[in-house]
Structure 1
Amino acid sequence: MRRRTLPGLLLPFALLLTACGGASSANTAGNTDGKGGVVLDIGDQRGGYEAILRASGELDDLDYRVTWSTFTSGPPLLEAVSARAVDLGGVGNTPPVFAAGSDSKIVVVGATHGSSAGEAIVVPEDSPLKKPAQLKGRSIAVAQGSSAHYQLVASLKSAGLRISDVKLNYLQPADALAAFSRGKVDAWAIWDPYTSQILRTAKARVLTTGEGVVNGLGFQVASPAALKDRKKSRAIGDLLIRLQRAQEWVFEHPEAWAKVWAKETGMPYEVALDAVKLTHGTRVPVAVDAAAIASEQQIADTFAELGLIPRRFSFEDYVDTRFNRDLPASSAAPRSYGKASS
């Protein structure tokens, strides 16, 4: 029965928040909640910043206007930032590395730290694979340039394997779901909320997670041109503060946010709530500090060594710390809902 629900699952999967993945398109829509002469163009992902800010009331009483461009993944969002089509957007830990590696015009201005439990490699429930070392020679679906891509590399390394020891199938989530469900691949490297959805709606289990192997960071990334504009820079700073308050609201109201998120993305409420409690609601706004930069440098160096980005570079050159304020260190522990909420 679960496998027969596959066609109905593909559309929600295509629409879900994908902070980390590959190619997509953008749609622009105006937002007239604010007032004043400054217009901040924000690259968003469905069920992302706009939904969180609106649900938490943080889009009220703006003294600038916001417009939204919607993407289904991080890399094309950063292409838009580099092209000055948007001023600011949020992505996972790997898209900035691929963008900077291509010499894109981007600046990391904010960060969050959350649980890596939703970063997972999943296998079919009846798979003979019991540990990551057994992935040698197996086929694995993964979105190129995604946080799952790095999590896969790091997990293989921890198991004594190299990326060349497995057969990679670069697939975006909807195609990967189809391949996984039809037995075309042995495993799937994925991130939440896809992890929560596949575990609830298909016969799958977790082989390993990103806990202890990936940094759990996400970033807000701005256009250099926007930062040079005094009024836009001030608006970006204000929005980052509002995002911090909105994230606090998500943690304090997980059920309310799950209802909004489910409606925005088309995923079942139960899946949304699982994802909120597993990873999405665990995020803590943190400083873009030396530790965060060093952790991202490690990701950059890894992909450079694998020949998956065009050049080596210093991640620090793509960071602006002016908005760090008094935020906790990037190593701050993610929030936890505890066993009662799991």
Structure 2
Amino acid sequence: MTHHTRHTHHTGQRTARRLTLGLLFAAAVGAGLPAGAQAQASKEVRIGYQKYGTLTLLKGRATLEARLAQKGITVKWTEFPAGPVLLEGLNVGSIDFGTVGEAPPIFAQAAGANLVYVGNEPPSPATEAIVVPKDSAIRSLADLKGKKIALNKGSNVHYLLVKALEKAGIDYHDVQTIFLPPADARASFERGAVDAWAIWDPFLAAAEKQLGARVLADGKGLVANHQFYLAARPYAQANQETLRIVLDEVAKVDDWGRKNPKEVSAILSKQTGLEPAVVELAASRYSYGVKPVSAEVVVEQQKIADVFARLKLIPKTIVVKDAQLPFKL
């Protein structure tokens, strides 16, 4: 310890901060786990990602692999069609870390998932919307009363729909919600089996570009639509240094992505298999700038949780703050 302390004075504040974090982390692990049950640091980080967001870029650029290889840690990527199934993977132990929208962590926490919020991107309300077919008679949110609306249950658009109906003065139970994952929802939307579809990018951009879908309302003025990074609590407790590196690389790719929209579109097109025009539209609506989850963002999440509990979409009320990291990265 003496050597480390001496080393800290020579290498400045950053190392001092890391040492403090290390002590906080040791205390957190000690407090969070029974004696003898401390999880071992892992030599592999298993990341869950979706067809959007910074993690797709990070995977495409392979900078995380290069950095973690120096520490003998490998990266395993698994793609998920939507946030709720990604967090299911996190809860059952098939992944360690992943990215989802606002609603999935609330549904997961209410179901008893042992997860923690690690960080979030700034709001991006334009990256999700309620769309209707181009020739639909539906012209306003008020026209949705009694209509069939496809959406992925428990995903970010679930909250968008709740807020959009609220704005239009329609009771949530006065529409028919048809719960479908994105691919099935698109098929239903295309054949006219549903009247509207609540969806996020790049599926949203694809519906606009390929089907001529008309945006009835996006998230602007209704929801923040944060992208969250979450980890399994036992993994976070035992692998603080790895998580710090992952977030650092996310921040770097965020910074790069903000300045290089054309390259972003090229990488996303390759990673998702979607045509460049679709990806360019989706990427133009991105927000970049990962940061720790602030008290204000926790309050926003709590409001969503309370609305879901009131509508009985989740089985019980939850305290979002309980899922905050017990230490700072």
Does the pair score TM above 0.5? yes
d(CA) in 1 for partners of 2:274 and 2:127?
16
* Secondary structure of the corresponding residue to residue 58 of structure 2: helix
After TM superposition, the structure 1 = structure 2 runs for residues 204-223 of structure 1, keeping only pairs within 5 Å, are 204-223=213-232
Q: Which has the larger radius of gyration?
A: 2
After TM superposition, the structure 1 = structure 2 runs for residues 259-298 of structure 1, keeping only pairs within 5 Å, are 259-278=266-285, 280=286, 282-298=287-303
The structure richer in helix per residue is: 2
Q: What code does the residue aligned with 1:142 have?
A: L
Unmatched runs of 5 consecutive residues or more in structure 2: 1-40
Are positions 1:316 and 2:325 aligned together?
Answer: no
C-alpha deviation, 1:287, in angstroms: 2.8
Aligned length: 285
Do 2:98 and 2:231's aligned partners in 1 also have CA atoms closer than 8 Å?
yes
C-alpha deviation, 1:55, in angstroms: 4.0
d(CA) in 2 for partners of 1:321 and 1:225?
12
C-alpha deviation, 1:199, in angstroms: 0.8
Unmatched runs of 5 consecutive residues or more in structure 1: 1-35, 325-342
* Secondary structure of the corresponding residue to residue 286 of structure 1: coil
Q: Residues 46, 122 of structure 1: CA spacing in aligned structure 2 closer, same or farther, 3 A cutoff?
A: closer
The aligned residue for residue 140 of structure 1 is 149
d(CA) in 1 for partners of 2:141 and 2:51?
32
Picking from 220, 229, 235, the partner of 1:226 is 235
Q: Residues 273, 310 of structure 1: CA spacing in aligned structure 2 closer, same or farther, 3 A cutoff?
A: same
Do 2:128 and 2:200's aligned partners in 1 also have CA atoms closer than 8 Å?
yes
The aligned residue for residue 245 of structure 2 is 238
Q: What code does the residue aligned with 1:274 have?
A: L
TM-score by length of 2: 0.81
Q: Residues 174, 69 of structure 1: CA spacing in aligned structure 2 closer, same or farther, 3 A cutoff?
A: closer
d(CA) in 2 for partners of 1:286 and 1:176?
32
Q: Residues 248, 321 of structure 1: CA spacing in aligned structure 2 closer, same or farther, 3 A cutoff?
A: farther
After TM superposition, the structure 1 = structure 2 runs for residues 8-157 of structure 1, keeping only pairs within 5 Å, are 38-46=43-51, 51-56=56-61, 58-59=63-64, 60-62=66-68, 63=71, 64-157=73-166
Q: What code does the residue aligned with 1:217 have?
A: H
Of 151-160 and 255-264, more deviation after overlay is shown by 255-264
C-alpha deviation, 1:302, in angstroms: 1.0
The aligned residue for residue 9 of structure 1 is none
Do 2:161 and 2:198's aligned partners in 1 also have CA atoms closer than 8 Å?
yes
Q: What code does the residue aligned with 1:120 have?
A: A
Do 1:37 and 1:65's aligned partners in 2 also have CA atoms closer than 8 Å?
no
Do 1:250 and 1:257's aligned partners in 2 also have CA atoms closer than 8 Å?
yes
d(CA) in 1 for partners of 2:55 and 2:171?
39
TM-score by length of 1: 0.79
d(CA) in 2 for partners of 1:67 and 1:294?
33
* Secondary structure of the corresponding residue to residue 295 of structure 1: helix
C-alpha deviation, 1:118, in angstroms: 2.2
C-alpha deviation, 1:213, in angstroms: 1.0
Q: Residues 37, 100 of structure 1: CA spacing in aligned structure 2 closer, same or farther, 3 A cutoff?
A: closer
C-alpha deviation, 1:85, in angstroms: 2.5
Q: Residues 47, 133 of structure 1: CA spacing in aligned structure 2 closer, same or farther, 3 A cutoff?
A: closer
Do 1:293 and 1:315's aligned partners in 2 also have CA atoms closer than 8 Å?
yes
The aligned residue for residue 193 of structure 1 is 202
Do 1:47 and 1:264's aligned partners in 2 also have CA atoms closer than 8 Å?
no
The aligned residue for residue 4 of structure 1 is none
* Secondary structure of the corresponding residue to residue 284 of structure 1: coil
Do 1:108 and 1:219's aligned partners in 2 also have CA atoms closer than 8 Å?
yes
Do 2:134 and 2:214's aligned partners in 1 also have CA atoms closer than 8 Å?
yes
* Secondary structure of the corresponding residue to residue 297 of structure 1: helix
d(CA) in 2 for partners of 1:133 and 1:148?
18
- Following superposition, which runs of at least 4 residues in structure 1 exceed 3 angstroms of deviation? 46-51, 54-57, 321-324
Q: Deviations over 1:204-263 (max 9, x none)?
A: 21111111111221111111111221xx21110111011011111111111112111111
Q: Residues 120, 37 of structure 1: CA spacing in aligned structure 2 closer, same or farther, 3 A cutoff?
A: closer
Q: Deviations over 1:68-110 (max 9, x none)?
A: 2332221122122222332211111111000001011111111
Percent sequence identity is 35
Do 1:124 and 1:203's aligned partners in 2 also have CA atoms closer than 8 Å?
yes
Q: What code does the residue aligned with 2:320 have?
A: F
